[in-house]
Structure 1
């Protein structure tokens, strides 16, 4: 079993995936394979293969935060919703970022999930 959380920074050529819990983090890198063909829409096919590899790398983890630029985020979101419904169910959010370091990415993800869990937790002191 993987970690309870993951953050994936995705563009159209590379992805950095950090799978983590409260104490540890594990890094994976996924790169698009370049195999140009004369086939119509081969760029779309290559993008779909890359996005599928990113989803496969996230398969063992729980909740996912996707961090990406505007275009990559929209493209990945569209792909996941259409082709990877099991992954789509585990994506807790999308945030727009521009080339963070792994340390910045992990800090952003920890903050995101801390806020999310804090908001979801029932209030300890309910008004009477």
Structure 2
């Protein structure tokens, strides 16, 4: 069963996707198939025969799996501690514009518990709905 609101807490190691209603929460955890041990490398090192930029490429399969886990949500909040939330937004715009249209906010949030994340999400959407 899908809910109207969804939140995804994302970093490069995992994504916690929650579909939230006033009375219920559905949770899924998405992890990359091949997690990166190091996202950054020394600039100018040789990567696959080319001089590298110092950054590992984004895992597009990981972001696609997160987008699939958000199916059914009408409004989506993306949160997380680092740059993965922006990479997810970029992926949504490039590969799934219908989902990108449903993203209503991006917030920097450290490492909350599931309960804290649900409370944050409910508070966020109540405030957003009041503004409308």
Tell me, yes or no, whether TM beats 0.5.
yes
Paired residues of 2:16 and 2:30 also in contact (CA < 8 A): yes
Q: Deviations over 1:10-49 (max 9, x none)?
A: 111200011111111111100100189x6989x536x111
Pairs aligned (count): 117
The answer to whether the aligner puts 1:32 opposite 2:21 as a matched pair is no
Cα–Cα, structure 1 residues 35 and 29, in superposed 2: closer, same or farther, change >3 Å?
closer
Q: What SS does the aligned partner of 1:105 have?
A: helix
Query: Using the alignment, how far apart are the partners of 1:39 and 1:12 within structure 2?
Result: 25
Counterpart in the other structure of 1:44: 57
Unaligned runs of 5+ in 1: 121-128
Normalised to the residue count of structure 2, the TM-score between the two structures is 0.80
Cα–Cα, structure 1 residues 35 and 9, in superposed 2: closer, same or farther, change >3 Å?
closer
Counterpart in the other structure of 1:11: 11
Counterpart in the other structure of 2:66: 54
Paired residues of 1:2 and 1:62 also in contact (CA < 8 A): no
Q: Deviations over 1:47-95 (max 9, x none)?
A: 1110000000001222111001231122222221222211101111000
Paired residues of 2:13 and 2:35 also in contact (CA < 8 A): no
Superposed CA RMSD in Å reads 2.2
Unaligned runs of 5+ in 2: 37-47
Normalised to the residue count of structure 1, the TM-score between the two structures is 0.82
